[in-house]
Amino acid sequence: MTAMTLDPRQLGTGGLFAAGRPDLAAHEAAYGRRPSGWTRKELLAELDASGLTGRGGAGFPAWRKLAATGSGRAVVIANGAEGEPASRKDATLLREAPHLVLDGLVTVGEAVGASTLFLYATRDSLASVAQALAERRDRPKVKLVEAPEAFISGEASAVVNALETGVALPRDKALRLGTSGYEGRPTLLHNVETLAHLALVARFGASWFRSAGTAEDPGTRLYSLSGDVPTEWVVEAPGGATVRDVLRLGHAEPSSLAAVLVGGFHGAWVPAEAFDLPLTGRGLARYGATPGAGVLMGLARGRCGLESSAGIVRYLAESSARQCGPCMFGLPAMASVIERIAAGERTPWLASEAERLAGLVTGRGACRHPDGSAKFVHSTLAVFRDEVQAHLSGMCTAHRGWA
């Protein structure tokens, strides 16, 4: 896995990997020292002007989370648990640019007067962070907490649960994180990539951040490229880049692909004819796709989209934490129906049954896992509509007809 960056001139200082090495000397040579002394009000205004949004999936404006964080013994959490098998960007960032993430964490920590800073990530990532922490002059007290390698371990309430009890299971979010999160304290949780961008906004300012990307999607984003591509890459691209741009950047030939899964397993398929659309919520609205946590998974021409999708829905079903009935029973039921379609069962109502189950589980879990899984199923049925019809009449273009 290598990190690649688009033309540095498009990335202001050269982007998140400009240091080239993970050590403090390289980090400061590339970006200078971390500016300290940001107040909450100033940082909030700068983040608002920058347009920085969360890079963990939901994509909320970064300033809004800061505004929603109550005062008092606040807690800041850097979330580097990707969970998703196709996501590598957070691990790559923590390995190659840990100081940028720590700068962001310490900066917001100062701004909200946090008494505790956490960094939550998988074991391998924590090793590079521990090494970086040992080098730092500002000696920030950051508690490192290991995240299990599980799909839902990065969900916000699962993170808080893991920090409190050691169990990374989501819980019902009747309470708000900003005012009553970790041990009932005001809690600010950011994805590690968001914090790395925030560190640069704090150094160089909002207009510098906006010198890359577009008005709608300013700055840069990390994408994890996987699936039917020659190599798995993590690439950094300016906001507003198209699917085709990012594929090319990762040396994947767009014409070899039939579709790309955008945003990960809770994301949506984008077919080849839409590769020239920008990777933004608005650009991909027709497909219900958003860049999410930056996952792009390619599906080669000639491969059966339903077979790939069935594998993903089964994975999602198996990732249920089995706490909530509709998730525990509904997701496996949904997976079975998609598998039956993929296998070529000639039962005309299977597609509407998959839609019904997806509708039935939506909004009915303690976390958004059923919603995300249902969204993926809706997307599969819509983007591969022709394939679904073919399968239901006993034909698969990839497997050249069972008919």
Partner 1 sequence: MSRRQLELHIDFARCDGRGLCTELLPELLVRDDWGYPVGRGGRDVHVPERLSDAAQDAVDLCPLQALMLRRVTRA
Which spans of this chain sit near partner 1 (rule: CB under 8 A)? Answer: 170-172, 174, 323-327, 329-330, 333, 360, 362-366
Selected from 4, 26, 300, 328, the binder of ligand SF4 by CB under 6 A is: 328
Selected from 301, 322, 346, 356, the binder of ligand SF4 by CB under 6 A is: 322
**363, containing H or E segment:** none
With left for phi above 0 and alpha for psi between -120 and 50, is residue 276 left, alpha or beta?
Answer: alpha
In the complex, least distance from residue 59 CB atom to ligand SF4, rounded to whole angstroms: 20
Write each residue from 280 to 319 as x if it is in contact with ligand SF4 (CB under 6 A), else as -, in one continuous string: ----------------------------------------
Residue 300, strand partner residues: 257
Residue closer to ligand SF4 (CB basis): 70 or 326 = 326
Q: Among candidates 133, 127, 119, 120, which has minimal Cα distance to 95?
A: 127
Enumerate residues 6+ apart whose C-beta is below 8 A from 9.
Answer: none
**270, containing H or E segment:** strand 268-271
Under 8 Å between Cβ of 265 and 309: no
In the complex, least distance from residue 75 CB atom to ligand SF4, rounded to whole angstroms: 22
Q: How far apart are CA 38 and CA 44, in angstroms?
A: 9
Contacts with ligand SF4 by CB under 6 A: the residue count is 14
Residue 4, strand partner residues: 235
Residue closer to partner 1 (CB basis): 328 or 395 = 328
Selected from 88, 210, 369, 375, the binder of ligand SF4 by CB under 6 A is: 369
* Residue 363 binding result from partner 1, ligand SF4, none, given CB thresholds of 5 to 8 Å by partner type: partner 1
Q: How far apart are CA 375 and CA 55, in angstroms?
A: 19
Residue closer to partner 1 (CB basis): 8 or 325 = 325
* DSSP secondary structure letter of residue 21: S
Write each residue from 144 to 183 as x if it is in contact with ligand SF4 (CB under 6 A), else as -, in one continuous string: --------x-----------------x-------------
Under 8 Å between Cβ of 261 and 269: yes
* Residue 191 binding result from partner 1, ligand SF4, none, given CB thresholds of 5 to 8 Å by partner type: none
Residue closer to ligand SF4 (CB basis): 38 or 329 = 329
Backbone angles phi, psi at 227, to 5 degrees: 85, -140
Selected from 263, 291, 298, 365, the binder of ligand SF4 by CB under 6 A is: 365
Q: How far apart are CA 175 and CA 189, in angstroms?
A: 15
* Residues within the interface to ligand SF4 (CB under 6 A): 152, 170, 320-324, 327-328, 365-367, 369-370
